[in-house]
Structure 1
């Protein structure tokens, strides 16, 4: 098996954003920034957690220093680091600490996506986990002001989680696999 190029990784991630996040409407806020090309896709080749934390710090700073009209959100894709979901999940506390230490709490936040994402209290193959399953481990850097604007435009934002579970249950594993998003999308 050949190692995918950065272009291949970004292409797979873009397809996931288009087919799952936007087309399934898992995030009703995603389409507007995506079609305006305000999503930054970055592939990290960090060989270890400390290097990934440094890249996260740089990307947070870049996002903070850049106009939302240019970059509204960033997907920091790290295909070689934190491929084990439990390690990835533990890392999220470190990511949140970086946000705090840089003084971005209340301004920026990090959301999480992983090929093996599993919500607490679910079985590994439960379909609701697929709402957060991306082709590669990915840290999603978001502006809180953008979230606030989106929530104002979508008054039932609290219902998104339940709607997503219903969408995934209706789609099922077969429907998810038919999207052809990544190797782990094979039918169970």
Structure 2
């Protein structure tokens, strides 16, 4: 058995098979990637979060979510969370703005949260030159935004994009942040002290 596996013919056959699998993978990747560029963002045409697949009509016209689709209360909560949690400016307020799911992911108590060792990537917000957002997803009770934070001119950091997810658990409930992560992996100080 091992002699057959070590034979030059078997080695050639395995090499060709591996090359064909690699080529098929590249073709599939390129096809999917080019197909997404033609259709817009990857979430267009997918089942929105919070809906059962039987509620989704694949033939329905899907429009890009717009800034005006984001409830004002969700925008306010996102902005307050960026300053309170991301910039570590007001960790007690950040706790109040955090969704129970984010607190569960932290696996920390309120007292531990106040140390700033939280599952929210730090980014210096003191002297922030600007913050803007674009809308990734809006469904009833759920919003995902991309936030671009532009640091002070004196900072060595570059403008950086983050995803922020917000949930509203009930019609009159407040909007709370359940997700915060950089769009790309970035190198920033682990704490305000560097």
Does the TM-score normalized on the shorter chain lie above 0.5?
no
Give the structure with the higher percent strand.
2
When Rg is computed on C-alpha atoms for both structures, the one with the higher figure is 2
**Superposition TM-score tier, normalisation by shorter sequence:** under 0.3
TM-score, L = length of structure 1: 0.22
Give the structure with the higher percent helix.
1
TM-score, L = length of structure 2: 0.22
